[in-house]
Amino acid sequence: MNPGAAEPSNAAHNGERQSESHLRSILATVPDAMVVIDERGNILSFSAAAEKMFGFTEDEVLGENVSMLMPSPDRERHDSYLANYLATGERKIIGIGRVTTARHRNGYTFPIELAVGEAWLEGRRIFTGFMRDLTERQQTELRLQDLQSELAHVGRVSEVGTLASALAHELNQPLTAVANYCETARDLLAGPLDPETVDVLREALDDAAQQSVRAGQIVRRLRDFITHGRTERRVENLPRLINEANALALVGSREHEIEVQVDLDPEARSVLVDRIQIQQVLVNLIRNGIDAMASSRVRVLGIATKRDGEGWIRVTVSDTGSGISDSVAAQLFQPFVTSKEHGMGIGLSICRTIIEAHGGRIWFEPGLRSGTLFHFTLADAEAFND
Amino acid sequence: MWSNVRLELAQTPEFPRGSASRAYLLRVPLDRRGHIDARELRKAPGDATVRRYWPSERDVVGFLVPEQGGWALSFDGSGTDRSPDAFHLAATAFALGKKVTITQPDGRCLPFRVARISELVPV
């Protein structure tokens, strides 16, 4: 199993072979992808399901560093994660499990649920990673129900759809009324303006104003619902928050083969936020980006952070999609404005509500070559300690 | 036709079996014979990218820039200049399993094998 090891004695050799065949029989039956690594991160075994998930055969990856299956920034950090654990025993993933992203041989990034176990085999410490692909929607929706207590925002995002159609119906009433009152007023203005007509006119305009206030209240109710609940701001680890949101947003994206480029400022470590809400913003922006790239040849989604040193961290989500037309751009953060064929146009107005409630701001600009960059700012939790 | 071409390290003294984890992924237009189609590339030079995957190293993205006898793989971010840190790929026709050579900035040549070619089709 380890070609680099010294030649063992015959008895030990037999024992090793036995445990190896035992391990293999387990591997063959495990439905999840399973990857076993040693203390240095080198791959000792790669299950059939893992071969299918990543596009490599076991033969091709044996002895390679497991970081080859990860996108940046985990790829370059995994060696230090391992060294850290071996030195301190502090568990960040072992026995805990989390949603994260993985890299297919074809270059695209896909969401997985990862659980890691630790064991001793023949006096050697090994780690086993169990992975479940969260790409396929059906599977994921089941998983998400389990994760819902922690990641309630995903549920909320889909509830928004249902709620939005109900509210659109409800909104229609005041809007129709406003239109009717305005038309009446216009017709009255066409005739002679005696005092009685002026009174009716005033009444019609009052009613129109009232109905538009009502429409506003309906929209506010929708926003309250979405941003509702305990707003608990805590100091959160930003890279982890982003990684999780990214994985969730990529759900169902495999057919688009999205190339994700994550570029995180090592100085931008922690933010003071309601994690669920900020992840909701990220999921929204990332999904918008993916949708915008549906007909692009180049589908690169970028997520970057930058600490500005004055108490703020800027988060940028970029795509190489079709961009935003000027007419849509002018009112992009208003509710019900959308460039999508099947969108309600609620997402970005919620994003703005959430970011502004956190004291930050959100804006966008056209990308350098194509697509759009969305930026938002968050309070840097470390600024208070500087 | 724009395609993704994955090149993986072929047999070297250090890696007698090659190494699937040391790879370049080119996104380039290919002509019918498998050569990089320079005319197509000129229409959208920003789309012709190269990603470098090396274990325990950060993913880097660069651009393909035409040069004498082949292509410079430029990772300096400009996408236009032939930077002194560029890697070099000699002009060749890509075919599955075929060997190609990439010259490192220090002049060292490494052999790579074409591991996969897939056409890029907008969804």
Model confidence band, residue A11 (pLDDT cutoffs 50, 70, 90): low
Give the pLDDT confidence of A198-255 residue by residue, as tens digits: 988 998 899 889 888 878 877 776 666 555 554 578 899 999 899 888 887 887 665 5
Q: Least CB-CB distance to B56: which of A79, A105, A294?
A: A79
Residue A377 confidence (pLDDT): 96
Question: What percent of chain A is modeled with pLDDT above 70?
Answer: 74
Q: Least CB-CB distance to A76: which of B6, B58, B61?
A: B58
Min distance B121 CA to chain A CA atoms (Å): 7
Considering only CB atoms, which chain A residues are within 8 Å of B59?
A: 71-72, 75, 261
**Cα separation of B21 and A68, whole Å?**
6
Q: Are strands A259-263 and A300-307 parallel, antiparallel or unpaired?
A: parallel
Interface test mutation site (partner A, options B6, B21, B50, B53, max chain A beta carbons within 10 A): B21
- Residues 11-40 of chain B with CB under 8 A from chain A are 19-21, 25, 27
Nearest CA in chain A to B45: A369
Residue A138 confidence (pLDDT): 46
Is A76's CB within 8 Å of B47's CB?
no
Q: What is the 3-state secondary structure (H, E, C) of A56-119?
A: CCHHHHCCCEHHHHCCCCHHHHHHHHHHHHHHHCCCCCECCCEEEEEECCCCCEEEEEEEEEEE
Q: Least CB-CB distance to B46: which of A68, A106, A369?
A: A369
Give the pLDDT confidence of A270-326 residue by residue, as tens digits: 999 988 788 878 988 998 888 888 888 788 899 999 998 789 999 999 999 888 877
Is B55's CB within 8 Å of A64's CB?
yes
pLDDT at B117 over 60: yes
pLDDT at B123 over 60: no
Considering only CB atoms, which chain B residues are within 8 Å of A75?
A: 55-59
Question: Which residues from A are below 8 Å from B when comparing CB atoms?
Answer: 41, 56, 60-61, 64-65, 67-68, 71-73, 75-76, 78-79, 103, 105-107, 255-256, 259, 261, 294-298, 369-370
> Tokens 């599955």 belong to which residue?
B96
Give the pLDDT confidence of A341-386 residue by residue, as tens digits: 545 455 787 788 889 888 899 999 988 778 899 999 999 998 865 4
Q: Least CB-CB distance to A107: which of B4, B21, B47?
A: B4
Considering only CB atoms, which chain B residues are within 8 Å of A79?
A: 56
Nearest CA in chain A to B17: A60
CB B117 within 8 A of CB B3: yes
ipTM of model: 0.85
Distances (CA, A) of A270 to A183, A273, A312, B32: 54, 9, 10, 51
* Spatial CA neighbour of A129 closest among A114, A144, A140: A114
Min distance A197 CA to chain B CA atoms (Å): 60
Window from A160-174, A320-334, B21-35, B109-123 with minimum mean pLDDT: A160-174
Average per-residue pLDDT for chain B? 88
**Cα separation of B72 and B104, whole Å?**
10
**Cα separation of B79 and A310, whole Å?**
32
Residue A224 confidence (pLDDT): 65
